[in-house]
Amino acid sequence: MRLLLALLVLAAAPARAEQVTSAEGAELRGLDKITGRTQDFTLRVGDTVRFGRLEVSLMDCRYPTDDPTSNAYAQIIVFDPVRGQADFDGWMVASSPALSALDHPRYDVWVLRCLLPETAAAPEDDAAADSDATSEDGSGG
């Protein structure tokens, strides 16, 4: 009886919510099911990209604060201007794309990851490192 009471108390306790951080953008992948071509695209929050005949808009991207490389999820809108309606408007989870997927006969779109601050700064850092390496060996200026 005491065990049952203890289990009920634990079950009634509120669940701890995961702390999340909003990212500046996300990396998505699109697939044209007819041609088999894939395309990766990087979007900032609020941006829209055209993929095939669809318009893909990123509204938000969030990731766990304590583990940024796991389980990103993004709020996206996939709009078909030919039909004049959204084919998808909701959250997609990077680790489980089938959980909340775009249902379109020709195209698939899914979330790969959120853009982390160090991810966004990496290309500039690489360029600076390349120029430093060139000037150190005396072949650059």
Q: How confident is the chain (141 residues) per 10-residue block, as mean pLDDT?
A: 54 63 93 96 96 96 82 94 94 89 92 80 45 45 47
pLDDT at 7: 52
The whole-angstrom separation of Cα 44 and Cα 47 is 5
Edge-to-edge order in the sheet of strand 38-44: 38-44, 25-32, 107-114
Token couple for 95:
């680790």
pLDDT at 60: 96
Taking the whole predicted model, whether its pTM rises above 0.85 is answered as no
Given this model, what pLDDT does residue 111 score?
94
Q: What is the pLDDT of residue 53?
A: 94
What's residue 10's pLDDT? Answer: 52
Please report the pLDDT score of residue 98 as a whole number: 84
